[in-house]
Structure 1
Amino acid sequence: MNRVVKEFADKHRLEGSRAVVVGAGKSGVAAARLLHALGANVRMVDTNESLPESTREAASAVAELQTGPHNAGQFADADLVVLSPGVPARSLAEFTNGLNPRKVVAELEFASWFMETPIIAITGSNGKTTTTTLIGELLRDAGKSVFVGGNIGTPLCEYLLDMDPVDVVVLEVSSFQLQNCRLFHPHVALFLNIAPNHLDYHEDMDEYLDAKLRMFAMQEESDMAIVHESLRPVLEGRDFTKAETIWYSSAKRFDAPHLPGAHNKANVQAAWLAVKQFGVSPRNAERVLSGFRSLEHRLEILGQAKGVTFVNDSKATTLEAVAAAVRSFDGRTVRLLMGGKFKGGDVGELARTMEGRVEQVGLYGASRDIFEGPMKRYFPVSWDDTMELAVRRLVSQAHPGDVILLSPGTSSYDQYPNYIARGEDFRRIFGECQ
């Protein structure tokens, strides 16, 4: 534990305090570990009564673990309540109404209280992970020590406990993390885009946008907000930040040969604007971008089977991400694979934008009724129970030079635990088609 953490804990009298952590996922356990190390008495609560044994062991080592429905007694004596990502404060309102609202905080915000290191934070509906990872690589190439985490990889609480201090902290930040933040203060904040997303969780688009904008609320005039041009109409009339605001579009200065699509050119420009003030030179950027490739499950070209190119874009969980993926293969014959648990959006508009770009759509799993009608007005549409059956149908009709693109436009939860499992199953099917 570093000096800053210890001094903050002493100042705010965390030793001997009563803390409740809600949610026993990776971020929740990391928060409980940090609180325990600071001398707090920690209770961890989770509605899931069937937690994996490894999670139970990790949580029980630092906290009193309680599973099952929440109750008022769990929160009655709390000095601090830390919420894991995806736990809405409103879901606990009946139990926490008597507490000071400033004492009910997100794991991200709790961890950020201890930070003196400059923070670069990245949010948006699509492209967060690629941009976050690229920023980390650019900084490292310039000789900076960097922590990359947040919504990807390592929670910020875990960094504070287990890792050496770095020059710059780079965080991917989701609406799930931001919705319970009030004081989170990144020095550089990037807003890449917004599209209907997580509307199975947020009440509406306004709530979703409000969560994203919490990232900018505590910025100061010396900070920087980097915002894509497409967000001007959405943000018009909103006084969302005091920071210097830089609007950007696509990269013109740099070539990224292994990052296909206009959306990735925009991500490159956002990353460059974020890092150049930290001593990253154009030469650093050119060197990194010459070898930087799409991450797994993000427009990942798996290879060819019988002359047909297979592309794994399992991370595309919004309709806007599907449209961007399809545009990346303009001039090619695209056979598109979609399906899963629908998260919202205008399917008819997506179909119109893909007309002339997509040869065929193969649907699988849930959401058939949502996709099939609007899609079949523009191109042939088939449906199968499973992704494997849908892929094999597309393969049987494909010709050498075609692209079979998995870009689902949905969450995976009808048939897979997450987008990674979905992408890996597509990889397996590709291997069997060779």
Structure 2
Amino acid sequence: MELGLNVLFASIQIIFAILVLMILILATLAIRSWSKGNNLISRFADENKFHSMTIVLPTWNEEILILSKLKDILIQDYPKNLLEVIIIDAGSSDSTLKIVNNWKNNYDFSSGLKFKLIEEGKRMGKSVSINRAFSEADESSEILMMSDIDCRLSPGTLKSISDNFLDPSIGAVTARQILLNRDFSALTKYESNYRDFYTKIRIAESKLDSTPIFHGECSAYRRSSIEGYKIVENSNADDSQMAVITRIAGYKAIYDENITFYEMAPPDSKSSRIQKIRRAQGLSRHFWRNKNLLFSREIGNFRRIISLEFSLHIFLPWFVILGFISGFCHIGSIIFLDYYSHEVWKFYLFEQILLLIDITVITLLLFGRLNINFPLSTTVYAFYQYMIILFISQIRILSGNSLHLWQQVSEVRESLRDYDENIKK
């Protein structure tokens, strides 16, 4: 019985470990190979050409940031007569609407800027807001863009986005994220390192074909590439949904690392975890909903990208968590059963090697958790944390717990308000 338990748990752990390593090795090789592709981004840049553009700003109780966000858009060096700004409010209970209406009544629209305020009256989810705002955008707008209130665009963002669309094959563009509070704490450093890693994947995917994951804080779409489509409203990852819609329509959806936007990472572990679980839940639904693309030959190399992301977001979390559970069961069987029985002597070396690996991984996780500087500890801990987030998000999906209504982090907004005020000085 003891022999059976030891071998059973060890064998299960090894199977899951092999599956995890296979996915990670294949992902690493794929990214290295795809990264060697030609970077065609901004090849069509022309300082004299501009597209007409609608920028959608979804709001809900954004009284402390809405004015600075409007300024963030309007200080962009872009012809105002080619811009439309739509604020779509999901039933704010604070002074957001009053502030917006006051701004509207006092702003000089002689530049040709178009502005529209849509009041939904109640919260129904960001996807609902985006669908409505895009459908009500000015008919002349060639590009439909979304941006979050709690992010700030770098100078020249709108022009760089427009330049990408001079390439007729490009249907969607997203930008690179930079954390303003990267060095605030160990948590924000982990967050930044995690995002830097996935930035490399987005760039590699864009060089091969398209990326299926976008940043809703700053993403833009060729109107003709998404016309007639609606994003799923009882979900999230609306930005990534439209990226895939764009690719299915025959256009490319790219990540332009030369376009940047800035935002604050949640300063504490609880708010960071909630934000990540919501995002992970949206991506898990996103890839599961598009599982039919795994077998589609019509999308070319994009099928390889979808296969990789499906493995990373759907399969890998289960393999990692189940591997850890079987590993702890293996350790428990060694501790609590009569392991040193003469009947199992021939498995002794095999068991000891596996136990040593278990202890090494646990030590790296502990060092990472305690922010102790040790080789690989940060990487291993960040990877394990994200696998837990993805696993929890899928469990919540299976239990019917949807997080498609976004949750604000007050500390993030207050920190960004302070940042905006310092910029004024």
TM-score by length of 1: 0.31
The structure with the largest strand share of the pair is 1
The structure with the largest helix share of the pair is 2
User: Which structure: larger Rg?
Assistant: 2
TM-score by length of 2: 0.32
Higher RCO (Cα < 8 Å, 6 or more apart): 2
